Amino acid sequence: MDKNIKKMTPKISIIICSYNRAQYIEKAIRSILDQTFTNFEIIVIDDASEDNTENIVRDLTQKDQRIKYFKNENNLGISKSRNKGVSLAQGEYIAMLDSDDYWIDNNKLLKQVDILEEDKNIGLIGSDVLCVDQNGKELKKHYYKSRDSDIRKKILCKNQFAQSSVVFRKKIFNEVGKYNESLDVCEDLDLWLKIGKKNKFQNLNKITTAYMVHQGGISKQRKLKIATNIDKIITENKQLYPNYFWAKTISIIRILKAWI
């Protein structure tokens, strides 16, 4: 690695929160190292994993000093871990990557930073994603609205940002109140809607990220928690985004399905 890269203040801080994902985390990190944009730091927050995560990441830190490893003494949960990661970040921009996902477009960060640098009113930018199974086999593709006005019309009905695809401004993150630590699911949607109160949205009209869908699906209890959290979040934002009544109808149906 170029010695000059080590001395630079990172433009982007990439946060990876992980809990017992040793079999996936190296692929996630290497997908970052393959980016053409190189002025970044990788902050790994290990949420008290009991597997081989620490050994794998510490080995990678010896090879690239842009990788920084932190382990929670106790399991804090996803929202607190994400907030801890951002609090440690030096970058102007924050990128999120879950430890079982990975980037498949080597120009992802370059494209997103160029847009954020050009338009200071954009606070959050994501992309389309590819859903894969645990072997990397393609399952389906998720396409999201790309323009701010279209995203706003849709976001209460369906989240328009995939966590592992986003880059946002750290300054705005701190101003709007960070991830809600009372939420252990849907904390991402809550944050996006808070950012959207102050800044514009955008998505790259391109698949940049592979999102892993795990075998066995989601438990009934978790489905219900997701459904009720979404309902609460959209209700809190009903005056701020369009199509609330349609979103509320979808939300009620989602809750009823979770009960079945």
Angle at 148 between CA 147 and CA 153, to 5 degrees: 100
Structure confidence at residue 162 (pLDDT):
98
> Do 37 and 111 form a contact (C-beta atoms < 8 A)?
no
> Do 244 and 230 form a contact (C-beta atoms < 8 A)?
no
> Do 187 and 76 form a contact (C-beta atoms < 8 A)?
no
**CATH architecture of the region 7-217:** Alpha-Beta Complex (3.90)
The runs of H, that is alpha helices, within the chain are 3-7, 22-33, 53-63, 78-88, 108-118, 148-154, 170-176, 187-196, 220-236, 244-259
* CA–CA gap between residue 183 and residue 192 (Å, rounded): 14
Q: How is the chain split into domains, by residue range?
A: 7-217, 218-260
- Model confidence pLDDT, tens digit, residues 137-177: 999 999 999 999 999 999 999 999 999 999 999 999 999 99
Structure confidence at residue 32 (pLDDT):
98
Helices 244-259, 220-236: axis angle to 10 degrees equals 160
* Residue of 116, 93, 125, 132 lying closest to 214 (CA atoms): 132
Element spanning 71, H or E: strand 67-71
* CA–CA gap between residue 244 and residue 59 (Å, rounded): 48
Structure confidence at residue 220 (pLDDT):
86
- Kindly state the tokens that stand for 117: 């640098």
pLDDT band at 7 (very low <50, low <70, confident <90, very high): low
> Do 165 and 172 form a contact (C-beta atoms < 8 A)?
no
- Model confidence pLDDT, tens digit, residues 104-143: 999 999 999 999 999 999 999 999 999 999 999 999 999 9
For 7-31, b where at least 16 C-beta lie within 10 A, e where not — what string?
A: eeebbbbbbbbbbbbbebbbebbeb
Residue in the structure block whose two tokens are 């795990």: 214
pLDDT band at 219 (very low <50, low <70, confident <90, very high): confident
pTM here?
A: 0.95
Structure confidence at residue 107 (pLDDT):
98
